[in-house]
Amino acid sequence: MRRLTTKDYAVDAVTAAKALVGAWLCRRLEDGTVMRRRITETEAYCGEEDTACHAHKGRTARTDVMYSPGGCAYIYLCYGMHEMLNVVTGPEGRPEAVLIRGVEGAEGPGRLTKLLKIDRSLNREDLVRSNRLWLESDGARVKFTAAPRIGIAYASNIPVRDKNVVWMCRSRCFFPFGLIWVCFPPMRF
C-alpha cells in the first residue's frame, strides 16, 4: 500500500478521476479505528469553464478550497442532508476536483460519507498528511468504464441517469468534461 502524495493530486481532474478508481479511501476515527474502502466510482469537475462545477461562477467562500493545490478535501452538504466528498486536484488557482461517487459497500456519494463518517468538519483536510482522511493505492489495475455524469442534466446534453445507464454506457469518452468513471463490472459485497 502506498499513500497518495502531492504528485498524484497535481494532475487534472479527469486524469485523477480515472486514477482514483480502484484506490483506497482511508478514514481514521477518533477512537483509532481505521476503515479502508476501495473507490468504485468517481466524477471529474473541471474548472470554471465546466458549468457543472461549483466554481463555475468563480471563487466564493464555498468554492475557495477548490482553488487550493491538489491534495485536499472539499466537502459540502447537498440537498440539506448529504455530505459530499471531493478530492481537489490540479495546480493552485485551478478549481478542479473529483467527486467520490462510490466505494465498495456504499453506492452513492451520500452513502459513502455516512458509512465512513465523513462530514464538513473534514473540509480542507490535507489528504497528503492527514491521519484522519487519506488515499492509498495498492497498484492494482482495475477495469473501468466511462459514463455520462449524473444528476446534472443542465451541464450536458444527455439524459439524467436512469438506474441502468451508468453500467450500460461504455466508452463514452468523447464528452469534454466531467466524465464519471466506474469499476466494471461493479464490485460489491
Partner DNA sequence: TGCACGATCTCG
Partner DNA sequence: GAGATCGTGCAT
Residues near DNA (CB under 7 A): 43, 45, 52-54, 57, 60-63, 74, 76-82, 84, 86, 97, 99, 108-111, 150-152, 154
In the complex with DNA, the residue whose CB is nearer, 45 or 134, is 45
Query: 133: exposed, middle or buried (C-beta count within 10 Å: 0-12, 13-18, 19+)?
Result: buried
CB of 139 to DNA, least distance (A): 27
Identity of residue 4: L
The closest of 158, 7, 9, 161 to 97, measured between CA atoms, is 9
How far is residue 52 CA from its own chain's centroid? 14
In the complex with DNA, the residue whose CB is nearer, 21 or 84, is 84
CB of 104 to DNA, least distance (A): 14
Identity of residue 54: H
In the complex with DNA, the residue whose CB is nearer, 2 or 121, is 121
CB of 106 to DNA, least distance (A): 8
Identity of residue 175: F
CB of 1 to DNA, least distance (A): 26
In the complex with DNA, the residue whose CB is nearer, 141 or 154, is 154
Q: Are 29 and 35 in contact (CB under 8 A)?
A: yes
Neighbour count for residue 47 (Cβ, 10 Å): 18
